Structure 1
Amino acid sequence: MKLLLGEVISGKAQVVGLFYDHSMAPENAIDVDFAEVPEPQLLSRKNPVLYYDSQTNALFYEYINRDLTVEEQLADLQLKIAEKDQVINDISMVLSDIIAGN
């Protein structure tokens, strides 16, 4: 397998290309010996980014925040509205108790 890497920082580089067919790999791709690429975890609201560590000769993922889908944005807004409604209800109950003299 050959890897095309981005900029190496502290021995770690983002994998920007992965080639099982060596004839398809660009000249600057490095040859590595991995039986398989690890599977990324499915984390909510995160995207996996594959990295290669040249010091340990290991592939690993880091997870970055991604843009929310419209559905996720809507769910977040609905939760915020529900929380604010609860605060308004709590304040209304306290005010009612004050007005009633309790």
Structure 2
Amino acid sequence: MSPRAEDLTSPAGALSAALAALCEANAEAEQWRRGQYARTAADYAAEVWWHPAASSEQRAEASRCLRLSYDLDEQTKARHAQLRAATHLKAG
């Protein structure tokens, strides 16, 4: 399942892509591919979370996707922690 590029600019489209990537990650037997799908899902979910037009429900669903992605792949969790830390340093 490959979402169309224009759909990824909206919170709903990015959330749909995150959920699709999570499904692929769960179905994948090879750990390295599972990690790739988990990173993709986390990236899309983060886009939803930070999107200015995202609703509170979409942000809540994106947070759940992020947690699931982190459970599937520790490197994704570490990478996103580094990105959050860098964002906070820039804001501060």
TM-score, normalised relative to structure 1: 0.24
Bigger-Rg structure (1/2): 1
Q: Which has the higher strand share?
A: 1
Q: Which has the higher helix share?
A: 2
TM-score, normalised relative to structure 2: 0.26
